[in-house]
Amino acid sequence: MSADELLDDLMARPWGDVSPSVYETGRMVTLAPWLGGHIERIEYLCAEQRPDGVWGPPDGYDLVPTLSATEALLSAVDRGDPAPRRGDPKAAAHLGTAALARRLVHEPWRPLPDMPAIELIVPHLIGLINERLGGAGLPLPPGMSAAPLGRIRGRLKSGGQVPEKLLHALEIAGDSATFAQTVLTSIGTVGASPAATAAYLGDRGLLEPGNPARLHLEAVARRFGGPMPVGLPITVFERGWVLSTLVRAGVPVEPPAEMLADLVAAIGPAGTPAGPGLPPDCDTTSVALYALGLLGIPYDPECLLAYELDTHFCTWQGEEGASISTNAHVLDALGRYLTLVPGAVHYRSRMDKVATWLTGQQLPDGSWTDRWHASPFYATACAALALHEYGGPAARRQVDRALSWTLVNQREDGSWGRWAGTPEETAYALQTLLLADGKRHRKAVARGHAFLTEDDDISKWPPLWHDKDLYLPVSIVRAAMIAARHLTRQNVATYLQI
């Protein structure tokens, strides 16, 4: 797919292009067995189970999808749902239960990744499974408690409000979700999540065929053929990342005028959300501003100041922890605006603050990691490129360390990757080398380019982005690959003889 074809595809599918989610699909099996595609969702869960009984990748990323899929299959068996054409839900649920017992009883020390709402999702799902299994049940991981769930559910039942960001995981409220004081978006979603929307609907989903939320779920189910994505729509998020990635790499593109107009219109006093149903956040806002700036449209980034803290910027107010990529994107947005509007010197001190914080967060090996992506190659690309362009001479040492780390972590086949070499992570590494260092590493780039051009099979692109479980934003990853290929051809054409 060319860059122009990718932009056309974005306009044709404004809700976004994302992979199906084991977690979200499992929740829909339990919450909405009446929804079209139910059997296909059960088949998907059975097909995605690994031989050891778990779902998802290692390093703790398997717990949430395994809990969701196991509970969903147990619920399907308990209801006596029709048997799927492929897969054995009862056997899969048994394997999943055994795998969870090994994980939670015998290996409770294994750390969990920093995923959205994981401290609520895990106790909620363990509680549901224990209700179905009876007996002693599965224990909670160390440090987790079901008490916050009780407080949230009580608040909802009493008519109280909950933080807007919690709506994305409203399904953790159980039966209390139907009491949520929320207004459906214009497209019928709650929290940009099928599971949250189904939980909010409750029995109304079955009883009210014309309910906007039900119509939304039916549209998503038809589009995906049954299995559900963890987040949809992601309109602004997708467009901002695609445009900024392509233009930063010098890929010649002409975005449709309506796409740019929509991007501008999405930015309000508190910034922009990733898509309808989600609260505004600093990360999406920064990337949208940066994309507009790269396209010669200076939009005053004053809305970002709502997220400013003493030492850095938060993704949203009240955030626990901090994000490398969010702060790198803030530096990009402020730096690009100052390039277009040199008189906006009041943003210089904010840029210096963010650059100082980013350099201080670099790991001893020269990399960065982030709470929004499983791969250090993504976080390192974000931080290194922002510091290279807008961090000034003081950040040069950190950029050089990031380049060295990237080089030494190239695999024998020319790829880069956390668990295995992937096109996505290889694209990030190539962008880091070429945008921050020019032509000094031609051999490494040539090997990476050869790997990147070997296979364009989307089914082999693993999900690496953080949400309630890992997901793949297809167009964003495709843009990263288009950008990396363009850079290698432009910068090392003589060496590669292409």
Along the 498 residues of the chain, how does pLDDT read in single tens digits?
899 999 999 999 999 999 999 999 999 999 999 999 999 999 999 999 999 999 999 999 999 999 999 999 999 999 999 989 999 999 999 999 999 999 998 887 788 999 999 999 999 999 999 999 987 789 999 999 999 999 999 999 998 888 888 999 999 999 999 988 877 788 999 999 999 999 999 988 888 889 999 999 999 999 999 999 999 999 999 999 999 999 999 999 999 999 999 999 999 999 999 999 999 999 999 999 999 999 999 999 999 999 999 999 999 988 888 999 999 999 999 999 999 999 999 999 999 999 999 999 999 999 999 999 999 999 999 999 999 999 999 999 999 999 999 999 999 999 999 999 999 999 999 999 999 986 678 889 999 999 998 667 787 899 999 999 999 999 999 999 999 999 998 876 655 554
Residues 213 and 243 reside in one and the same domain: no
The pLDDT assigned to 109 comes to 76
Residues 240 and 220 reside in one and the same domain: no
Q: Annotate 77-106 with b (16+ C-beta within 10 A) or e (fewer).
A: beeebeebeebebeebbbbbbebbeebbee
Which of 166, 197, 224 is the last residue in one of the domains?
224
Residues 289 and 202 reside in one and the same domain: no
Question: Residue 50 in contact with residue 83, Cβ under 8 Å?
Answer: no
Structural domain total, the chain: 2
CATH of the domain at 196: 1.50.10.160
The pLDDT assigned to 498 comes to 47
Cα angle value 257/263/266 (rounded, 5°):
140
Residues 181 and 243 reside in one and the same domain: no
Residues 199 and 255 reside in one and the same domain: no
Residues 69 and 194 reside in one and the same domain: yes
Angle between helices 423-437 and 396-408 (to 10 degrees): 140
Residues 215 and 246 reside in one and the same domain: no
CATH of the domain at 279: 1.50.10.20
Asked if the structure places residue 6 within a domain, the reply is: no
Q: The tokens 């009491």 sit on which residue?
A: 179
Asked if the structure places residue 2 within a domain, the reply is: no
Residues 6+ apart with CB under 8 A from 290: 240, 244, 329, 332, 333, 336
Distances, alpha carbon 318 to alpha carbons 114, 155, 182, 315, in Å: 15, 19, 20, 9
Instruction: For the chain, report the end-to-end CA distance as a whole number of angstroms.
Output: 19
Asked if the structure places residue 3 within a domain, the reply is: no
Asked if the structure places residue 249 within a domain, the reply is: yes
The pLDDT assigned to 491 comes to 75
Residues 196 and 240 reside in one and the same domain: no
Range of the domain at 104: 22-224
Task: Report the alpha-carbon distance of residue 375 to residue 355 in Å, rounded.
Answer: 21
HEC string of the chain equals CCHHHHHHHHHHCCCCCECCCHHHHHHHHHHCCCCCCHHHHHHHHHHHCCCCCCCCCCCCCCHHHHHHHHHHHHHHHHHCCCCCCCCCHHHHHHHHHHHHHHHHHHCCCCCCCCCCCHHHHHHHHHHHHHHHHCCCCCCCCCCCCCHHHHHHHHHHHCCCCCCHHHHHHHHHHHHHHHHCCCCCCCCCCCCCCHHHHHHHHCCHHHHCCCCHHHHHHHHHHHHHCCCCCCCCCCHHHHHHHHHHHHHHCCCCCCCCHHHHHHHHHHCECCEECCCCCCCCEHHHHHHHHHHHHHCCCCCCHHHHHHHECCCCECCCCCCCCCCHHHHHHHHHHHHHHHHHCCCCHHHHHHHHHHHHHHHHHCCCCCCCCECCECCHHHHHHHHHHHHHHHCCHHHHHHHHHHHHHHHHCCCCCCCECCCCCEHHHHHHHHHHHHHHHCCCCHHHHHHHHHHHCCCCCHHHCCCCEECCCEECEHHHHHHHHHHHHHHHHHHCHHHHCC
Question: Residue 85 in contact with residue 44, Cβ under 8 Å?
Answer: no
Asked if the structure places residue 15 within a domain, the reply is: no
Closest CA to 360 of 351, 370, 371, 368: 368
Sign of torsion over alpha carbons 232, 235, 239, 241: negative
Task: Report the alpha-carbon distance of residue 424 to residue 471 in Å, rounded.
Answer: 13
Beta-carbon-side half-sphere exposure of residue 209 (alpha carbons within 13 Å): 1
Residues 210 and 253 reside in one and the same domain: no
The pLDDT assigned to 387 comes to 98
Residues 145 and 240 reside in one and the same domain: no
Residues 192 and 341 reside in one and the same domain: no
Which of 201, 224, 247 is the last residue in one of the domains?
224
Sign of torsion over alpha carbons 449, 453, 456, 457: negative
Task: Report the alpha-carbon distance of residue 426 to residue 430 in Å, rounded.
Answer: 6
Asked if the structure places residue 305 within a domain, the reply is: yes
Asked if the structure places residue 337 within a domain, the reply is: yes
Asked if the structure places residue 166 within a domain, the reply is: yes
Residues 114 and 243 reside in one and the same domain: no
Which of 186, 203, 224 is the last residue in one of the domains?
224
